[in-house]
Amino acid sequence: MMLKKIIAGLLVLLSVSGVRGQFPEAKTALDKKVESFLKEQAGQWRDMNVPVADGRILYDLVLSNNYRQAVEIGTSTGHSAIWIAWALSKTGGKLITIEIDKKRYLEALRNFRKAGLSAYIDARLGDAHEIVPQLPGPYDFVFCDADKWWYKNYFVAMELKLKSGGCFTAHNTSMRSDEIREFIDYIKKHPGFKTTFDSTSRSGISVSYKK
């Protein structure tokens, strides 16, 4: 009886901490490679990278909507890009990801190779303020995780390039700053988008679906 209670308690702890079931079921050789890379890297993402639970949210969004043309603004060393590209490896899509810092960009390239996902990622080094407005489109998925004060501008630069049914997601929307507030206000009031917030993400992820 006592042992049963201890096991039940442990299971609750594991599910709350996100350790249990954080990885999708590994079905292919690539799944196993990505999962083994992510397990090796656990606890070593130190460049403002998303937590594993948020990576999984992005993975699920891409896969469940069958998105194929994705853009990430703010690669850093590649944690979120790996989750997005992992899902794209299943939908037949590709990710463009943009980073301004050369050291992080080069480390991201190494991480993409180690995870076996380089073929699904077009990593660009440069200023997203310039690159994003020049992206041709159309796209069906955007993950915005770079300079918070420019979020609204990134959205404005991407809104016409998003396909109907596509979505613009943004990280750290729980942050209490004027820039994030201005961005949230804009997306919530936008008549062309339906915005929700993923309540399971501690940092906050907004998901704005284009009508």
198 binds ligand SAM (CB under 6 A): no
Q: Which of 70, 96, 100, 144 binds ligand SAM (CB under 6 A)?
A: 100
Q: Which of 52, 99, 135, 158 binds ligand SAM (CB under 6 A)?
A: 99
User: Which is nearest to 82 in space by CA: 127, 40, 129?
Assistant: 40
* Residue 51: DSSP 8-state: P
One-letter amino acid of 8: A
Q: Which of 49, 91, 173, 208 binds ligand SAM (CB under 6 A)?
A: 49
128 binds ligand SAM (CB under 6 A): yes
211 in Cβ contact with 164 (< 8 Å) = yes
Closer residue to ligand SAM in complex, CB, 146/187: 146
129 binds ligand SAM (CB under 6 A): yes
Q: Which of 98, 121, 157, 162 binds ligand SAM (CB under 6 A)?
A: 98
Pairing of β 94-99 and β 121-125:
parallel
145 binds ligand SAM (CB under 6 A): yes
Q: Which of 78, 93, 116, 166 binds ligand SAM (CB under 6 A)?
A: 78
Q: How far apart are CA 78 and CA 152, in angstroms?
A: 23
**169 three-class SS:** strand
Closer residue to ligand SAM in complex, CB, 28/177: 177
Q: How far apart are CA 49 and CA 197, in angstroms?
A: 19
One-letter amino acid of 201: S
114 binds ligand SAM (CB under 6 A): no
Report helix angle 79-91 to 52-64, nearest 10.
20
Rounded to a whole number of angstroms, the minimum distance from the CB of residue 186 to ligand SAM is: 19
Q: Which of 20, 39, 64, 127 binds ligand SAM (CB under 6 A)?
A: 127
Dihedral class, residue 44 (left if φ above 0, else alpha if ψ from -120 to 50, else beta): alpha
One-letter amino acid of 127: D
Q: How many residues bind ligand SAM (CB under 6 A)?
A: 21
Q: Which of 80, 173, 195, 201 binds ligand SAM (CB under 6 A)?
A: 80
Q: Write phi, then psi, for 26 (nearest 5 degrees).
A: -80, 115
185 binds ligand SAM (CB under 6 A): no
132 in Cβ contact with 97 (< 8 Å) = no
Which residue number places its CB atom closest to ligand SAM?
74
Task: Give me the residues that bind ligand SAM (CB under 6 A), please.
Answer: 48-50, 74-80, 98-101, 104, 127-129, 145-147
